[in-house]
Amino acid sequence: MVSRRSVLICGLAGGPAIATAGAMGGMWATAGRRTEEQAAFVNKLAIPPLARSHHDRQGRRVFDLRAAPGTMQFRPGAPTATWGINGPFLGPTLRARRDETVVVNVRNDLPEATTMHWHGMHVPPMMDGGPHQLIPPGTTWSPTWTIRQPAATLWYHPHPHGRTARHVHHGLAGMFIIDETEALALPRRYGEDDIPVIIQDKRLNADNQLNEEIPTVGGMGVLGDLITVNGTVSPYVDVRFKRVRLRILNASNSRFYNIGMADDRSFALVATDGGLLSAPLDTNRVQLSPGERAEIVVCLRPGERLPVVSYRSDLGIHIGDQRFAGGSDVLEILELRAATDLNPSPPLPTTLGERPELDASSPAAVRTFELANFAINGRLMDPGRIDIGVAKDTVEVWEVANLDEMPHNFHVHDVQFLILSVDGGPPRPELSGWKDTFYVKPRTRARIAMRFRDYTDPRSPYMYHCHILWHEDQGMMGQFVVLGPGEKPGTLPQAHAHG
């Protein structure tokens, strides 16, 4: 079993590093055992390359992305057919700074239509990459926008209506990093002491092909027992610095991860979805539902090997259902291998970002969103229907309630929000920063506040939805538009035909 001896954030490493992996296709865990593919940390972690860019005549930073089929060798035997962006699986990391204008040319060379959504990014609705911005095969979509938000770890992935889970499970995802000022003393050497950690679970058939059959139990969609990080199975990463920053992205379709160290040492949580916290938070766990991100800084000692583990997740559901939802699984994620001589790292700053502030005392509207039966407020997603019109430059409070007995989370496009309360009490400290995705336990109500700014379009909607992707695909999603003075929601075209 994993040692639960607590140590200081820069304390000695110790305790055995045993973790369990999910069995039976990820439907439940077998305590104390591992799958064959995860018997040891044997593969060097792949680091997604930084996407190349250039500046056009208007001074805009231009990226070129191409989605196309590929193959990956996840297990011995036949290679797995995958989809990737500028490669066979996943995509490169895009980096830009606040106030830069970017252009992203997205070429679709897949056999069907897709989209590309900039998850967590504040963008005009026509650039959002939701279900209405389909990219047919053989064509290129070129959204452009100016980055108007703080430094953060964001990501991009497809968002075609009814097919998002399939496209993400095939491997279409990547990070988009908005850089902070270099004056802030945080690890920032990409791939060295600043490591992208894109976690996805995969379920393969006997012939090593992706298994997308939906189990009859669990209600979570595809839940795999093969854990990959940046596409690498059973990975390790060599570290040459005393402190290492892990940018953790839960890019799985439905699996939750409760991240901690194998010896239960503390680490510093420095950022969540929307960017840096106001100050580092000393903790030993951070739980991420699908779509959520966290940046943590871990202190290492020379020569140690430290596994990063996903412990049992607190899903707030019946213990029997917990097993089928993957919440009982304990999974090995990644091993940090410290060099015998570590380069020094500066102490973490006591102040990171600005404290989030949003006056929600007199909101322009208070709305309720009830999640149940794969619907929101009793209605399934209709691409031709606008559910809500909100006024630009106003603050609204949304009450999100999970009425089901199964897990749901909630993601809002375009904005970062503050969690005001959970069941009438204050949110946990790790939920104190800007968020765009959060977990709503069964029989729980949470209140969030957000401001809608900059962009209006009565005919181009943003989405809000559960980010457990099978739930989203079943219809647990709605649409809202942001309106200027005197504007009313327009008429949308009917649902796009699947490509």
Average pLDDT over residues 351-357: 87
pLDDT in tens, 191-208: 999 999 999 999 999 999
What sections of 277-343 are H helices per DSSP? 319-324
CA angle 89, 130, 365 (to 5 degrees): 135
Instruction: Write the DSSP symbol of residue 465.
Output: E
Strand stretches in 125-170, DSSP E: 140-141, 144-146, 152-157
pLDDT in tens, 273-288: 999 999 999 999 999 9
- 420, HSE (Cβ side, Cα atoms, 13 Å): 19
Percentage of the residues of the chain whose pLDDT score is greater than 70: 91
Alpha carbon dihedral 80, 84, 86, 88, in 10-degree steps, equals 0
Query: Which of 106, 100, 109, 94 shows the shortest CA–CA distance to 49?
Result: 94
**pLDDT value of residue 25:** 34
**pLDDT value of residue 357:** 87
> In angstroms, rounded to a whole number, what is the distance separating the alpha carbons of residues 389 and 456?
10
The identity of residue 473, as a single letter, is D
**pLDDT value of residue 497:** 36
